[in-house]
Amino acid sequence: MSKKDLDWSSIGFNYHVADYRYVSNFKDGKWDDGAITTDSKIVLSEDAGVLHYAQEVFEGLKAYETEDGHIVCFRPDLNASRMEDSAKRLEMPAFPAERFIKAVDEVVKANEDWVPPFGSGATLYIRPVMFATGNVIGVKPADEYQFRIFVTPVGPYFKGGAKPIVVKVSDFDRAAPHGTGNIKAGLNYAMSLHAIVTAHEEGFAENVYLDAQSRTYIEETGGANILFVDADGNLVVPKSFTNSILPSITRRSIVQVAKDYLGLAVDERPVRLDEVHNFKEMGLCGTAAVISPVGKINDHGKEICFESGMDEMGPVIKKLYDTLTGIQMGEIEAPEGWVHIIK
Ligand code: PLP
Ligand code: COI
């Protein structure tokens, strides 16, 4: 085995067609045995449920090469259970959690050459996806599905890596109160596409979405949860009272790291847009985003500037970033069960 000849430090967050993927199909009420395949293409009937009523859910996690040459991934059990929750919400059959983890292992091992080298700054992004292949024409769930996992090496999600970004308060909503914001379904991202194109055209890296009910509270961005650091150096994490924030695995891990490794107090509560100017630091967190510092929020032309500024990560966000990535890369001892050894 030898690594692919890629310039790992400059690959960006893009899709590369790796050699292998894992596929299992659901038919006649059960999942088949599943297998590794080389075929990256999918042939669908024109009345496949995914094409009409958007029955699709997905996940995102990463595999890392550690300094001593192992390949590991981070808390895949939580991706497996979140995907079950997402599937149930869209009336899709869940792919069993233990099979999910086994499939991640198989597909990463098969694509070992695509796992970026330790220290390169890149990682292997793993994208499990499940969609309705069965026929529908009336509005109802399909009865056939495909579960697939493909991988692609990725660099930083935001251009410039760890440089602070500027985000804007969006006039669009990402998720309805008590809708599907708390699951990882493609339909939520379709909702956000016009908003992100608009934000990019205006020079912003991401959108901050407010709660759709009162447009008063901060929810999350299009692809990451939000963290704030208050004037006392403690962590404040927005909580939704309409259950419309995705339960980020990175955010849940950071909350534990903040408490147990850094001794910070953590306040998980609804956060009003009009109190954000009191905070010292802001970050976006997620599998793709890791922890990306935010220097400013633009609220309809009014700038909310964080003390940490536009040059580097603030000190608390930096500590959280270093500790979390140290745990993920095997350099800092992880809590029991967080680091899953693939090889
Ligand atoms: N919020 C949204 C809307 C996302 O797309 C993601 C990415 O997965 C996250 C939050 C972060 O979740 P996680 O940390 O589980 O990757
Ligand atoms: C992830 O972080 O895994 C996501 O799915 C976010 C997406 C915007 C790439």
Q: What is the 14 CA–ligand 2 centroid distance (Å)?
A: 12
Q: What is the 287 CA–ligand 2 centroid distance (Å)?
A: 6
Distance CA 264, CA 234 (A): 5
Closest ligand 2 atom to Cα of 58? 5
Q: pLDDT tens, 157-213?
A: 998 778 999 999 999 999 999 999 999 999 999 999 999 999 999 999 999 999 999
pLDDT at residue 273, as a whole number: 98
Distance CA 135, CA 48 (A): 5
Q: What is the 29 CA–ligand 1 centroid distance (Å)?
A: 30
β-pairing verdict for 165-169 and 206-210: parallel
Decide if domain 165-327 falls under CATH 3.20.10.10: yes
pLDDT at residue 162, as a whole number: 84
Given a cut of 90, whether residue 83 has pLDDT beyond it is yes
Q: Is 224 in the pocket of ligand 1 (CB under 6 A)?
A: yes
Q: Is 287 in the pocket of ligand 2 (CB under 6 A)?
A: yes
Q: What is the 236 CA–ligand 1 centroid distance (Å)?
A: 17
pLDDT at residue 1, as a whole number: 63
Q: pLDDT tens, 256-314?
A: 999 999 999 999 999 999 999 999 999 999 999 999 999 999 999 999 999 999 999 99
DSSP state of 135: B
Q: Is 250 in the pocket of ligand 1 (CB under 6 A)?
A: yes
Distance CA 16, CA 162 (A): 23
Ligand nearest to the CA of 286: 1
Closest ligand 1 atom to Cα of 250? 14
Give ranges for CATH 3.20.10.10 in the chain.
165-327
Q: Closest Cα to residue 174, out of 246, 237, 239, 241?
A: 246
Q: Is 192 in the pocket of ligand 1 (CB under 6 A)?
A: no
Give ranges for CATH 3.30.470.10 in the chain.
8-154
8-154, what's its fold? D-amino Acid Aminotransferase; Chain A, domain 1 (3.30.470)
